[in-house]
Amino acid sequence: MSAPALSTVRVGDELAPLTRTVSQEQINAYAEASGDFNPIHVDADFAVAVGLPGTIAHGLLEMGILAEALSRWAGSADRLMSLEVRFSKPLVAGGTITCTGRVVAVDEAEGIATLDVEAVSDRGERVLTNGRATVRLSG
């Protein structure tokens, strides 16, 4: 992955959209990593009983996919300085999430770009909204 040079980044530049299908296996792995075994994530019968269409991904797992889209654009994960999102709609296991972003400010003195970011599902639902990221640029 090659980082964009500070001098070439412009307001309006867009992230390459990153699309990922989130399997129940990934959700289980995230439950293991995070210790969050809430049954809405890992028990389909329970999820349906509480009115969900099925088990849903952890919000932080979705946010991790968004962070990956940013890291790819930035050239490495350690360039992602800050990240903010609103958890708007759930992503059902087996669903697909597409993360997008757009540069809204470039601070040339500090070498930092600010991006608006979001994620939508293949159901057309806005999963992560009001996203904002700051990224340290190279060069």
Residue among 59, 64, 75, 94 flagged as catalytic: 59
Q: How far is the CB of 29 from a second copy (least distance, A)?
A: 4
Contact 114, 105 (CB under 8 A): yes
Produce one character per residue of 50-88: b if its CB has 16 or more CB atoms within 10 Å, e if not. Answer: eeeeebbbbbebbbbbbbebbbbbbbeeebbeebebeee
Find how far residue 106's CA is from the centre of its chain: 21
Q: How far apart are CA 21 and CA 81, in angstroms?
A: 26
Q: Are 41 and 50 within 8 A, CB to CB?
A: no
Applying CB under 8 A, which of residues 27, 93, 97, 137 lies at the interface with a second copy?
27
Q: Is 42 in the site for a second copy (CB under 8 A)?
A: no
16 binds a second copy (CB under 8 A): no
Q: Is 56 a catalytic residue?
A: yes
Nearer to a second copy, 6 or 87 (CB): 87
**According to the binding rule CB under 8 A, does residue 86 interact with a second copy?**
yes
Q: Residue 127 interacts with a second copy (CB under 8 A)? A: no
Site for a second copy, rule CB under 8 A: 20, 26-27, 29-30, 32-36, 38, 40, 58-61, 63-65, 67-68, 71, 76-78, 80-87, 130, 132
Which residues does the annotation mark as catalytic? 36, 41, 56, 59
